[in-house]
Structure 1
Amino acid sequence: MKKIEAVIRGNKLDQVEKALGNIGISGITVSQVLGWGRQKGNITEVYRGTEISVRLLPKVKLEVIVDDEDSEKVQEAIRQNAHTGAHGDGVLWVTPVEDFMRIRTGEIFLD
């Protein structure tokens, strides 16, 4: 099994969710996060007439656990649907999952 994590723009969440549902993904975890990447978050905005510098940008983090054979199509669905071509589109990474269990039933999912 694989855990796929992606940090994306918040306005792309609905599109990514729909794409994952269309390929049969039945559950994801979503968190509101703050961070910066290559652009260092150095964005200047005017708030109530005062110029402020924003370092930590709001993003959304998705987490999904999938079977090994579904990993590539999930990664591609996220990449295609989160992509705008501009700085700040986000990042995606994959890690192996050793154990995965449903708490309610104790059901263990194996690779």
Structure 2
Amino acid sequence: MELARVEIITGISKIEPLKKALSRFNISGMTVYQVLGCGVQHGTQEFETDENKKEISLLPKEVVMMVVPKNELDELLEFVKKELYTGHIGDGKIFVSDVTNVIRIRTGEEGVEAVMEGDK
């Protein structure tokens, strides 16, 4: 079974609702970390209209990273997009990449077995 890494960048206020929603989606594990960043708007707020603003403002964001089976990826992505959508600047981004291997250090398991639930 092939795996995909999903990284979701979103606002801090959206992380708790997303986490609760993902728990209903049977996600077995995730990593969340705080970052500073900006997108194509250079960190401006939606109500700012000065298009000549070139200075970048880094805004606090959260990144949720998880590894999921590729056969569940499309459903997960649709779920996350609906959960985070407001239609306003700052809804976030989702990055998807292939995972070539995962190793569970404690047991030596590799591949999908290393990310599946179990008490081995």
Same fold, TM exceeding 0.5? Answer: yes
**2:9 matches 1:16:** no
Deviation of the 1:54 alpha carbon:
7.5
Match for residue 93 of structure 1? Answer: 95
In 2, Cα distance between equivalents of 1:78 and 1:33? 19
In 1, Cα distance between equivalents of 2:111 and 2:56? 42
In 1, Cα distance between equivalents of 2:64 and 2:71? 19
* Higher strand proportion (structure 1 or 2): 1
**2:65 matches 1:72:** no
The two structures, once aligned, show a CA RMSD in angstroms of 1.8
Taking the TM superposition and a 5 Å limit, the aligned residue runs for 1:1-111 are 1-43=3-45, 55-110=57-112
Conservation of the 8 A alpha-carbon contact between 2:11 and 2:92? yes
Deviation of the 1:40 alpha carbon:
0.9
User: One-letter code of the match for 1:32?
Assistant: Q
Structure 1: gaps of 5 or more residues? 44-52
In 2, Cα distance between equivalents of 1:6 and 1:82? 10
Q: Which runs of 4+ in 1 moved over 3 A?
A: none
> Aligned residues: percent identity?
35
Length-normalised TM-score, structure 2: 0.77
Q: How many residues align structurally? A: 102
Question: Which has the higher mean CA deviation after the structures are superposed, 33-42 or 87-96?
Answer: 33-42
In 2, Cα distance between equivalents of 1:8 and 1:98? 26
User: One-letter code of the match for 2:105?
Assistant: I
In 2, Cα distance between equivalents of 1:104 and 1:78? 31
**Secondary structure class of the residue paired with 1:78:** helix
